């Protein structure tokens, strides 16, 4: 029994099941419309372009602004993946199979997350193409992809892990509602508003700390902490990815404990 082949096979089918959801594509199409319009109007503003000293800085800001909504979609669409096994009654069958729980969870997490990220990535690439068209700067595309990988993906995997794990212990619609509120509170509240918020800290999943520290992206519209040392960016990246791993380990332990109690 080859574990990596089993994991790859499982990942493929979890990817397929998620990518086939019409609501996923419709939602990200809606996001594309909202975000695309907003970015294009910013690019028409010379003051916006003047805020950025280099193409890399501009790419970093575009990555951040394009993806402030996408993680919402990621979190909400991943929340039903594990409860679905229970709801469709497949879980009992899965528990009789020799493939380990660890492998199944990992393939579900990675497969469903990658599938949910695909429309988000396509949306982002569309925006990049529009930005290249508007600015005439071809470098924006490859640098934009680099910034996506560094700034956006850690937060997406962080959000994905909580969205896969938490609905195992709380009602899925409740989680989705709380997540919606958390997203706005943790990323878009200004730290200067007087209310406590995760925005501007290393726990900000939108990636604004990483953006500012690695690429010097300026604060914009209340998003972003402004000039930030590189160490803060490294700490944020490590914290987001590390927490994602810890949450999945906790999920595995919890499900094992649940099984042993039966």
Per CB under 8 A, 47 contacts other proteins: no
**C-alpha–C-alpha distance, residues 94 and 31, integer Å:** 35
Per CB under 8 A, the list member of 47, 50, 92, 181 interacting with other proteins is: 92
Q: How far is it, in rounded angstroms, from Cα 200 to Cα 220? A: 12
| 220 DSSP β-pair partners | 223
DSSP 8-state code for residue 220: B
Please identify which residue in the block is written with the tokens 């508007």.
134
For 22, the token pair is: 């019409």
Least gap, CB of 17 to other proteins (angstroms)? 6
In the set 23, 33, 45, 95, which binds other proteins (CB under 8 A)?
Answer: 95
Using the minimum distance from each CB to other proteins, give the nearer residue, 32 or 82. 82
Nearer to other proteins, 2 or 136 (CB): 2
Selected binder of other proteins within 36, 83, 99, 191 (CB under 8 A): 99
* Footprint of other proteins on 67-86 (CB under 8 A): 85
- 22 binds other proteins, rule: CB under 8 A: no
In the bound complex, what is the minimum distance in angstroms from residue 171's beta carbon to other proteins? Answer: 20
Picking from 141, 154, 148, the residue whose alpha carbon sits closest to that of residue 233 is 154
Q: What is the DSSP letter of 223?
A: B
Using CB under 8 A, pick the residue from 98, 136, 194, 196 that binds other proteins: 98
Cα(185)–Cα(158) distance, rounded to whole angstroms? 16
Within a 13 Å sphere around the CA of 105, how many CA atoms are in the beta-carbon half?
Answer: 21
Considering only 46, 50, 96, 257, the residue that binds other proteins (CB under 8 A) is 96
| Interacting residues toward other proteins by CB under 8 A | 1-2, 5-6, 9-10, 13, 16-17, 20, 85, 88-99, 104, 260-262
């Amino acid at each position: 029994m080859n574990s990596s082949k089993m994991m790859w096979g499982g990942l493929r089918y979890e990817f397929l099941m998620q990518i086939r959801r019409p609501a996923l594509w419709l939602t990200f199409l809606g996001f594309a419309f909202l975000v695309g319009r907003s970015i294009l109007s910013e690019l028409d503003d010379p003051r916006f372009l003047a805020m950025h000293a280099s193409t890399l800085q501009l790419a970093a800001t575009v990555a951040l602004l394009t993806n402030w909504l996408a993680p919402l979609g990621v979190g909400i669409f991943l929340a039903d993946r594990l409860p679905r096994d229970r709801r469709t009654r497949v879980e009992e069958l899965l528990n009789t199979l020799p493939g380990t729980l660890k492998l199944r969870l990992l393939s579900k997490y990675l497969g469903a997350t990658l599938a949910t990220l695909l429309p988000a990535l396509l949306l982002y690439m569309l925006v990049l193409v529009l930005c290249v068209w508007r600015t005439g700067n071809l470098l924006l595309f490859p640098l934009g992809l680099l910034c996506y990988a560094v700034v956006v993906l850690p937060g997406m995997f962080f959000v994905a892990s909580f969205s896969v794990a938490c609905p195992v212990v709380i009602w899925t619609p409740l989680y989705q509602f709380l997540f919606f509120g958390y997203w706005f509170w943790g990323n878009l509240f200004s730290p200067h508003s007087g209310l406590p918020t995760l925005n501007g800290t290393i726990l900000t999943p939108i990636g604004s700390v990483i953006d500012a520290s690695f690429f010097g992206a300026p604060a914009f519209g209340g998003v972003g902490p402004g000039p930030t040392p590189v160490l803060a960016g490294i700490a944020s990246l490590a914290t987001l990815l590390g927490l994602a791993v810890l949450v999945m380990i906790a999920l595995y332990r919890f499900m094992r404990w649940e099984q042993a109690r039966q």
